[in-house]
Structure 1
Amino acid sequence: SAVALACAYFDLEAMIYMVRISYEQKQYRGTLMRTYGAKIVPSPSDLTEYGRKVKKEKPDHPGTLGIAISEALEDTVNHENTKYTLGSVLNFVMLHQSVIGQETIAQFDSIDETPDYIIGCVGGGSNFAGLAYPFMADDRFRDTKFIAAEPTACPSLTKGEYRYDFGDTAGLTPKLKMYTLGADFTPPKIHAGGLRYHGVAPSISALVEEGRITPYAFNQIDVLNAGVLFAKSEGIVPAPESAHAIKAVIDIALESKKAKESRTIVFNLSGHGHFDMLAYSDLMDGTLNGDVPEGIS
């Protein structure tokens, strides 16, 4: 939606390949983008050679972020007047997002406090890096612990391999050294669509490998229950992605209470859940399932 709005401001045509399962689960997100003037296509689509190949092999394929990237790249290289934009994984995105952490540090400075934990959800990694990296670069916070929360349905950091892999499914991108489940990995149809990516930003992956970031994985029922608790407490319905961070916060807060320790915990509420009410409806109706990925033990 940010790309759609930016294109509207600059009078540019926006073509967005939206992962099919997210296109179906978050229909009003698509409506918002169309309101801004963008064209939305569920991926895999019939508009690209790779999309047609995927659909021929599996007509009901739910799509992945890797496939959507492949389609967008193919579209770009086949049209001279087209530019490709990506909102996660790469270093320049992390840099842009770092305003989040910089502003958070300024808030802590104003109250003379230091966080014990910095927590964010991780798919590609941009919102987590945006919050955490300014803290990690500041020696004042060397004792702060950094927690990355991901879904058990797509456990790139907790069960993936640290190696070179393509950033997309078709193998069009340069290879990146990162934690990956494999470029052809298809996660279950969880509602946290922004976390259904096979890999993680190379810089975050390196920091996990070095032990600077600790990853945890949570299943979507526990995550959405954490989102409900947060909504009841704060009046804000979080996006399923953000609710992963909230689940980690709750667990650490309960551990602190049990240990009778006072801890300052910061997390990134990376998005609202107003377009994700189907997720909460499924939770309350008892119809959520299928968040255990195939081939991952």
Structure 2
Amino acid sequence: MSIQVPAQWRSALPYLDERLPEDRTPQTRAGGSVQVNLPMELARQSIQQKEFWDIPAPVQEAYRSFRPTPLWRASRFEQAIGSRVPIWVKYEGENISGSHKLNTALAQAYYYHKAGVRELVTGTGAGQWGTALAAACSLFGMRCTIFMVGTSLERKPYRGVLMRLLGAEVHASPTTLTDVARQSGGQGNSLSLAIGEAVEYAARTSGAAFCIGSGENYSILHQSVIGLEAAEQLAEHEAEVDAVIGCVGAGSNFGGLALPFYTEAKASGGTMPRLVAAESSSTPKLTKGVYAYDKTDATGTSPLEAMYTIGSDYSIPDSHSAGLRYHGAAKLISALRHQGYVDAVAVDQVTALECGRVFTQTQTVLPAPESCHALAAAARLATSGAGDLRAERGILVCVSGHGYLDLGAYQQLLDGTLRDQAPSPAALLAAVSGLAPVDSPARQS
């Protein structure tokens, strides 16, 4: 059969064991709170217990230019690593952003444009989200302003070029444009700070709205096209997997790939594969963080969300996987982790990029550093195992983007100069010491 672009997104919210913990109002700074006004449809998608959501025709038409995305068995990669099981790859890098981020960028731009917003403002780490939003704004005739983590923009200047080519205004964060950056003292090249700058800038700019590419329930919903397609493609190949793996910054590509499998198993009563989140060992929120209420950005004015976090004030070590350098996981992913449905593996960047090198040589596809973490986790489950995590029938892994603008990282790998910087246990403990824990009980396994 021929795989078609999904006509609907599928939500996991109706199948949670318990409702997500309510957001909390922060103790704000003297300047007061910042209100982020969502289009009504995005707000509904965040909270309603509705399983299927129709994809608007203009968004579906835009999807058809790059979806369905390819899925294949990585046989040569399996041989190179000595895999015991088939490894199936779902590849999201064949669009102008080079990543899965375009799935939600197009949807968000559509809804904001329909609501009368003239400019979208955002923060971006590695630049895939910024590029995706710039492309979506260009398509729907909107202005776009992007605050990109400065060290990442310095390493990948052509990300900035591409965003500007698409009509966006790009700023290296921290800037001199916002109070939150000035209060940081020019320190803290982090996604949290870039997002904080975008939130503040949007709040004071007429006709503008802040939007975010990962972490919110609606962005994970929009990414469900990844898993919905993958399930059909696996069925077409008569393939079975018992592990589904994606890398996690906040969690949108992982959620987009994995949650349709969770939802289908819950709806049908079938067997659920292990859902495995691969994170950076320098930002280990799911493996070493706490489940607590924390800030989502550096302004400290947005609602506190229940998340696995290493603390929004933690100074995250620098790495080439800027898309993974976010202090917390999405509240939906965090809740499923807390309830026992999501497993996690931390991977260092040398191991990740070395796995990416093998994948490039065997599959002639260059993965982004973030995606290399997912591939390394897949290799671990397919060979020696990761603790009690071990695949017995097959693995599905999302390569969420390409690495053509990350060749500097691969150059360091080849030169032998790539290094890892492990987080300090004392610093991690200090960063979470003042956070309020989430009280909801964990599911008994």
Normalization by structure 2: what TM-score?
A: 0.63
Write the letter of the residue equivalent to 2:359.
Answer: F
CA distance in 2, matches of 1:125, 1:3: 17
Write the letter of the residue equivalent to 1:32.
Answer: L
Over aligned residue pairs, what C-alpha RMSD do you find?
Answer: 1.6
Question: Which one has a bigger Cα radius of gyration?
Answer: 2
Q: Could you tell me which residue of structure 1 aligns to residue 217 of structure 2?
A: 91
Write the letter of the residue equivalent to 1:17.
Answer: F
The higher relative CO (CA closer than 8 Å, separation ≥ 6) is in 2
Is 2:246 the counterpart of 1:114?
Answer: no
CA distance in 2, matches of 1:179, 1:163: 6
Is 2:382 the counterpart of 1:253?
Answer: yes
Is 2:312 the counterpart of 1:183?
Answer: yes
Unmatched segments (≥5 aa) in structure 2: 1-130, 386-390, 430-445
| Deviation, structure 1 residue 211 | 1.3
Q: Could you tell me which residue of structure 1 aligns to residue 409 of structure 2?
A: 279
Percent of paired sites with the same residue: 41
Is 2:132 the counterpart of 1:6?
Answer: no
Counterpart selection for 1:291 from 416, 421, 424: 421
Q: Could you tell me which residue of structure 2 aligns to residue 46 of structure 1?
A: 176
Is 2:161 the counterpart of 1:31?
Answer: yes
- Decide which moves more: 76-85 or 194-203: 76-85
| Deviation, structure 1 residue 112 | 2.9
CA distance in 2, matches of 1:208, 1:224: 26
| Deviation, structure 1 residue 239 | 0.2
User: Which secondary structure state, in structure 2, belongs to the residue aligned with residue 255 of structure 1?
Assistant: coil
Is 2:356 the counterpart of 1:227?
Answer: yes
CA distance in 2, matches of 1:290, 1:46: 30
Distance 1:225 1:290, change over 3 A: closer
- Retained in 2: the 8 A contact 1:154–1:196? yes
Q: Could you tell me which residue of structure 2 aligns to residue 236 of structure 1?
A: 365
CA distance in 2, matches of 1:231, 1:290: 21
Number of positions where the alignment pairs a residue of Structure 1 with one of Structure 2: 290
- Decide which moves more: 89-98 or 179-188: 179-188
Unmatched segments (≥5 aa) in structure 1: none
CA distance in 2, matches of 1:52, 1:263: 53
CA distance in 1, matches of 2:153, 2:299: 21
Is 2:261 the counterpart of 1:135?
Answer: yes
CA distance in 1, matches of 2:308, 2:210: 24
Counterpart selection for 1:270 from 380, 400, 407: 400
Residues 193-204 of structure 1 aligned to structure 2 (within 5 Å): 193-204=322-333
| Deviation, structure 1 residue 113 | 2.7
User: Which secondary structure state, in structure 2, belongs to the residue aligned with residue 169 of structure 1?
Assistant: coil
Q: Could you tell me which residue of structure 2 aligns to residue 155 of structure 1?
A: 284
Instruction: Give CA-to-partner distance per residue, 1:214-253, whole Å, 9 cap, x none.
Output: 1010111001000000001100110000000000111122
Distance 1:156 1:12, change over 3 A: same
| Deviation, structure 1 residue 123 | 0.7
Write the letter of the residue equivalent to 1:88.
Answer: S
Instruction: Give CA-to-partner distance per residue, 1:86-118, whole Å, 9 cap, x none.
Output: 100000001000000000111122233321110
- Decide which moves more: 65-74 or 23-32: 23-32
Instruction: Give CA-to-partner distance per residue, 1:16-59, whole Å, 9 cap, x none.
Output: 000112111221111111111111101111111111221x2xx4
CA distance in 2, matches of 1:132, 1:162: 21
- Retained in 2: the 8 A contact 1:176–1:202? yes
CA distance in 2, matches of 1:187, 1:286: 23
| Deviation, structure 1 residue 262 | 5.2
User: Which secondary structure state, in structure 2, belongs to the residue aligned with residue 118 of structure 1?
Assistant: strand
| Deviation, structure 1 residue 290 | 4.3
User: Which secondary structure state, in structure 1, belongs to the residue aligned with residue 208 of structure 2?
Assistant: coil
User: Which secondary structure state, in structure 2, belongs to the residue aligned with residue 83 of structure 1?
Assistant: strand
User: Which secondary structure state, in structure 2, belongs to the residue aligned with residue 215 of structure 1?
Assistant: strand
Q: Could you tell me which residue of structure 2 aligns to residue 215 of structure 1?
A: 344
Larger relative helix fraction: 1
Is 2:335 the counterpart of 1:206?
Answer: yes
Q: Could you tell me which residue of structure 1 aligns to residue 273 of structure 2?
A: 144
Instruction: Give CA-to-partner distance per residue, 1:146-186, whole Å, 9 cap, x none.
Output: 11000110001001110111111221210100001111122
User: Which secondary structure state, in structure 2, belongs to the residue aligned with residue 94 of structure 1?
Assistant: helix
| Deviation, structure 1 residue 62 | 4.8
Instruction: Give CA-to-partner distance per residue, 1:174-220, whole Å, 9 cap, x none.
Output: 01000011111221110000000000001111111111111010111
CA distance in 2, matches of 1:108, 1:96: 20
- Retained in 2: the 8 A contact 1:89–1:124? yes
**Deviating runs (4+, > 3 A) in structure 1?**
none
- Retained in 2: the 8 A contact 1:123–1:196? yes
- Retained in 2: the 8 A contact 1:220–1:291? no
